[in-house]
């Protein structure tokens, strides 16, 4: 009695690597635009310091509302098209940290908030923004409605940092930058503070 050989096991399909670009949807590209605008504002602020040319500060100020428009648009596009990627929420938070956390802090530093207490306050501001976005990401599933839109916010949304940016833009427009900022410089022992930072 002869036994027939058993058929070979089915070939396993090779596992596809996670492709970031293939998972992107239109909303993700708009979110990247938000991050690019924020990063551009940071680089323009650095260029203003390097060249002592205030025109670069105006470039940074213009890029900030561009980042806000992109930030508002990405969520609307995702809901309109009923498509979001696995990266969407984290991508949005990272872009927001750049555009509404680091970019306003860099602009404030470039405009003249460079005392040691100013820097401490700016770093605290960025840390609060990062913490708030992390909390939002953890709780957003519980707070969202059936469309994926969050019903209400806990805490202050980080894009409200543009209010600080508007104040700084007025200071630049009036030529009140550096030590000419409103309130001057306060010496607190060996530390310095510009009142607008508070």
Question: Contact at 8 Å (CB) between 28 and 93?
Answer: no
Residues of the chain with pLDDT under 70: 1-24, 78-79, 81-86, 140-156, 194, 196-198
Q: What is the per-residue pLDDT for 188?
A: 80
pLDDT at 63: 97
Residue 126: half-sphere exposure toward Cβ, Cα within 13 Å: 18
The answer to whether residues 117 and 197 touch, using CB atoms and an 8 Å cutoff, is yes
Q: State the pLDDT at residue 65.
A: 94
Which residues is 191 bridged to in the sheet? 188
Q: Which helix (H) or strand (E) holds 192?
A: strand 191-193
Token reading at 183: 């309130």
- Do 102 and 122 contact (CB within 8 A), yes or no? no
pLDDT of residue 107: 95
* Residue whose token pair is 């992107």: 24
Cβ contact 179:112 at 8 Å: yes
Chain segment 68-119, per-residue pLDDT in tens:
999 888 878 766 766 666 677 788 889 999 999 999 999 999 998 888 888 9
Q: Check residue 91 and give its pLDDT.
A: 85
Judge contact between 110 and 57, C-beta under 8 A: yes
HSE-up (13 A, CA, CB side) for residue 171: 28
Using an 8 Å Cβ cutoff, are 46 and 106 in contact? yes
Q: What is the pLDDT of residue 146?
A: 57
């Amino acid at each position: 009695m002869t036994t027939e050989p058993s058929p070979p096991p089915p070939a396993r399909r090779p596992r596809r690597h996670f492709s970031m670009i293939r998972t992107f949807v239109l909303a993700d590209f708009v979110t990247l635009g938000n991050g690019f605008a924020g990063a551009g504002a940071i680089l323009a602020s650095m260029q203003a310091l390097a060249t002592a040319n205030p025109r670069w500060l105006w470039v940074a100020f213009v890029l900030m509302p561009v980042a806000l428009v992109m930030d508002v648009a990405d969520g609307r596009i995702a809901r309109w098209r009923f498509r979001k990627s696995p990266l969407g929420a984290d991508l949005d938070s990272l872009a927001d940290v750049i555009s509404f956390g680091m970019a306003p802090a860099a602009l404030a530093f470039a405009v003249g908030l460079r005392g040691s207490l100013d820097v401490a306050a700016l770093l605290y501001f960025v840390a609060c923004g990062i913490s708030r976005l992390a909390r939002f990401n953890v709780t957003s599933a519980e707070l969202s409605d059936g469309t994926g839109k969050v019903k209400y916010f806990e805490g202050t949304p980080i894009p409200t940092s543009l209010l600080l940016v508007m104040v700084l833009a007025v200071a630049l427009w009036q030529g009140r930058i550096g030590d000419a900022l409103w309130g001057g410089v306060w010496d607190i022992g060996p530390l310095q503070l510009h009142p607008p930072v508070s």
